[in-house]
Structure 1
Amino acid sequence: MPKKPVATSKLAKKSPSKRSRKMPRADGRQPLLTARRNARMARSAHAYVRGSTSRFYEWLDGIEGHALPEGPAVWICGDCHTGNIGPVADAYGRVEIQMRDFDQTVIGNPAHDLIRLGLSLATAARGSDLPGVTIVHMMEALADGYERAFDETAGEADIHAEKPEAVRVVMKEAIHRTWRHLAEERIDDAEPYIPLGSRFWPLDKTERREIDKLCRTRSIAALATALRGAGADAQVQVLDAAYWVKGCSSLGRLRYAVLLDIDGAAADGDDLCLVDIKEAAQAAAPRCSGVRMPRDHAERVVEGARHLSPSLGERMRPARLTDRPVVLRELLPQDMKLTIEQLTRDEATRAARFLALVVGKAHARQMDLAERKAWLAELRKNRSKTLDAPGWLWKSIVQLVSTHAAGYLEHCRKYATGVGEG
């Protein structure tokens, strides 16, 4: 019977100066994380969109005369803004643009993802000083791109032909990235340790012990070895671990970076593995009534990922750490965030059409032919003579942009003193 992969603690030698800096203890992190989150959200209206998922659904429910079409019950992202879409590699190194964050995933109404993406794009357009007429064209392109995913006559070529220049550039970069690029981007260096500082904080003894224990389990150790073709008896060693201060929406939850070595190859830089451990919390996105989903939040996140972004879902595992649900995911060099901050008029409409097509493909692969046809027919209803987008979509975006702008200014008023932090 083959031996299972094992993980042992093997902390690399570190510079004393880097390890002796004063860092917050585990029991003192929360106030600092909350302050940093508020400061990040105050930096721009687009950043505020990324950090206000819960409020998004409150705003959506509060829209006067709010009535959305009920699409087929499928797994949705639940937090479908532009920053949560980007290049993702599968286990064989193939790279595609897919959704890349599933904290809010539920079996829900696909219209919610489309509206969330529309709000994100409209906010990016306003931040780029684009005129209102461009936002009108963006929402028309958004509807068109999404609908193409359900149109049997559209063909697969669309998703390649519609790539805007910003997507082409990041895809080209992703394909040529190596471990060194990932290490320099995520942990500042390709050396086999995680440098402590503003992004990485030290663990307490309990956290370190629990992470080491978790990485000894067969399924988690196998996650690190599978992508490298290592055998079931490969040795997995924990080189280093730290608390990861990362992302607006996840600040305040458990988040760790763990550096693993496969078969002792760290000395020559081969077979290092960077794992992201992220706490899974209850989703703010509403789920459809009568559907069955995993009760465990980590299992829910992984299941949603497998349906929406198969390339990423196969690289994720649910687990428990200090009796809290967490999701483990190996980070690959090809995984990148698609940054859409400054847009030209032409790029804005192309980006809206392409990203909506990506989201539509993720939804469509979960539906049978009859469901796709029925949903497409519903999407094409209620068009006016002056706007080639569904009335419910346009009304939702207009009111959400207004409500979001007011919420952002109020957030800045409350937390203006911390804008320069984090």
Structure 2
Amino acid sequence: MGAVGVGDAVATVPHQSDGATGGRRRLPRVQGFAEFAEFAGAGVRGGGAGAASSSSAFPSAPSPKEAGKALRRTVARSAHAEFDAETDTARPDAVTAVEESGRGRIPELTPLRVGRMVATPFAFLRGSAGLMAHDLARTPLTGIGAQICGDAHAANFGLYGDARGGLVIDLNDFDETVHGPWEWDVKRLATSLVLAGREAGADEDTCRTAAHDAAGAYRRTMRLLAKLPALDAWNAIADEELVSHTDAHDLLGTLERVSEKARNNTSGRFAAKSTVAVDGGGRRFVDAPPVLRSVPDAEAAAVAAALGPYLDTLSADRLPLLGRYVIHDVAFRVVGTGSVGTRSYVVLLLDHRGEPLVLQVKEARPSVLLPHLAAVGFGAPEVAHEGRRVVLGQKRMQVVSDILLGWTTVEGRPFQVRQFRNRKGSVDPAALAADQVDDYARMTGALLARAHAHSADPRLIAGYCGKNEELDEAVAAFAVRYADRTEADHGELVRAVREGRVAAETGV
């Protein structure tokens, strides 16, 4: 937010004389900062700076914690177990949902996308965020909003590099991010854990426990954050504390192996495998269809030219770094499961030593959650640029974000830009041992709470969630029901492929 003048950014308040003993100084309300009334009755104890007196000027205002508790009378925590797709006559069948979500994508890649979705029910869930959003819009909500991932399944957490060469673990994909109901992320995570556990061969009790423990870790972490000063809560639960905080000790060995692999997952390694030296100096990408392919000169030029406006979206202190690189090549690269069919490029940059930096320029489509927000009472503000929506959502949720994260427009389409293979690593939740599934669930539940608490008041959510396991049990019950529904949807798509009604390219 830019500088604002007193005349248009602050509220007028009564004059109060100077003096240390005259009570709290009444200063203008400045846009972007909280108002003292918002903290009245918040139960802040002690006499330090910022402590609110119980006899404040706003004694009738409920604390955020009490406001959260009061919501239980409107939406019982047990109500979050509810899900019934059978009576929803507006619900599209699985095949229709997949076809509708493919509109606007590159048609030739549709069989590849379907092929990835039919692999397993968990893969189907990953590619059907829009269908689940339709279903979630018909479940109970508290009305508490947060910046949500919108696609917080268990495989959307992972490791990535920070500016100092270290590794961070957090949410790492934000294509669908919006301001919306916090419950949607929690329920999608819990459902994905049930499906991943089933795919891993875990018994049903283990799968349900994973969903239960993810919700429990979310609830307990939110309570912890609610008790901390704002700045401490923002940076709480450093990665080195995460395992002990979530009692995820059975996951240590897996995390260490993933970390070691992530450290080698760099632009240099990708460029060594995917490019060749060319006459006249420099390097070019080598075709590896259907995942990596060259593009016509005009298309490459359009992508390269779009990096100029991209620079304007970065912090000015990043520009000297990129000024040391020359753009050498552009190629098209297929990514993900839900993202297959969107336009996605890799751009090869080389410095004065010939060392590579690869940027990903990925199309930013409207969030699949957007059509469902108004139906549940959340405003859907006009989005000026979808790439900007993704980038700002990511920065609001992560503790540390890619220093080269930005956005641009290529031939009228919005894109996000980020480092490619920035020491990224991930745990495959469907390949975990049974005794690791609930550890991973607790870890991801805690990370999700931390991400939500950056934009929502943790006291409000913590007040609603409470101390007992009522919410945990309800979310677990929902997750099992929705996992069953997803398996049925997956089965419908598999049958359509077998019968030749839908084309699929598998094994890629």
Whether 2:447 is the aligned partner of 1:358: answer yes
Q: Residue 347 and residue 390 in structure 1: after superposition, are their counterparts in 2 closer, same or farther (change >3 A)?
A: same
Deviation at 1:175, TM superposition (A): 3.9
Aligned to 1:170, which of 248, 258, 262? 258
Counterparts of 2:136 and 2:188 in 1: how far apart (Å)? 10
CA contact (8 A) 2:286 2:294 kept: no
Q: Check if 1:277 corresponds to 2:365.
A: no
Instruction: Quote how far apart the aligned CAs of 1:258 are.
Output: 0.8
1:60–1:396 Cα contact (<8 Å) kept: no
**Inter-CA distance 218–59: structure 2 relative to 1 (3 Å threshold):** closer
Cα-to-partner distance string for 1:136-174 (whole Å, 9 max, x where unaligned): 221221122112321236973751324423233212433
Q: Which residue of 2 aligns with 1:380?
A: 466
Cα distance change, pair 189–342 in 1 and its aligned pair in 2 (3 A):
farther
Question: Which is higher, the Rg of structure 1 or of structure 2?
Answer: 2
1:283-326 per-residue CA deviation (whole Å, 9 max, x = no partner) reads 11244624757432111001101111243354311110011100
> What is the CA distance between 1:32 and its match in structure 2?
2.4
Deviation, 1:184, is 5.4
Distance of 1:284 and 1:54 partners within structure 2: 5
Alignment of 1:174-323 (within 5 A): 174-175=262-263, 178-183=266-271, 187=274, 192-198=283-289, 199-217=291-309, 219=311, 226=318, 230=321, 234-262=323-351, 264-266=352-354, 270=355, 272-285=356-369, 286-287=372-373, 289-290=378-379, 292=381, 294-312=383-401, 314-323=403-412
Match of 2:418 in 1: 329
> Hey, what's the Cα distance between the residues in 2 that align with 1:280 and 1:316?
13
Instruction: Please state how far the C-alpha of 1:215 moved relative to its aligned partner.
Output: 2.8
Shift of 1:419: 5.2
CA distance in 2, matches of 1:218, 1:318: 5
**TM-aligned CA distance change 1:294 to 1:61, over 3 Å:** closer
Structure 1's unaligned 5+ residue stretches are: 1-28
Is the 2:111–2:505 contact (alpha carbons within 8 Å) kept by the matching residues of 1? no
AA at the equivalent of 2:303: I
Identical columns (%): 22
Tell me how far 1:117 sits from its aligned partner: 0.8
- Give the residue type in structure 1 aligned to 2:358: L
**TM-score (norm: length of structure 1):** 0.80
The amino acid across from 2:134 in the alignment is: E
The corresponding residue for 2:237 is: 156
CA RMSD of aligned residues (A): 2.9
CA shift digits 1:52-105 (9 cap, x unpaired): 11111123345xxx313333x221100011221100222222311111111100
Shift of 1:48: 1.1
Equivalent in the alignment of 2:102? none
* Code of the aligned partner of 1:279: E
SS of residue matched to 1:315: coil
Please point out which of 385, 392, 410 is paired with 2:492: 410
**Counterparts of 2:143 and 2:458, CA distance in 1:** 13
Partner SS, residue 278 of structure 1: strand
CA distance in structure 1 between the aligned counterparts of 2:107 and 2:464, rounded to whole angstroms: 46
Matches within 5 A, 1:38-187: 38-62=114-138, 66-71=139-144, 73-152=145-224, 156=237, 158-161=241-244, 162=246, 163=248, 164-165=251-252, 166-175=254-263, 178-183=266-271, 187=274
| Alignment size in residue pairs | 374
Q: Please, what TM-score do these two structures have when normalized by structure 2? A: 0.67
> How many Å separate the matches in 2 of 1:375 and 1:80?
18
Q: 8 Å contact 1:303–1:313 — kept in the other structure?
A: no
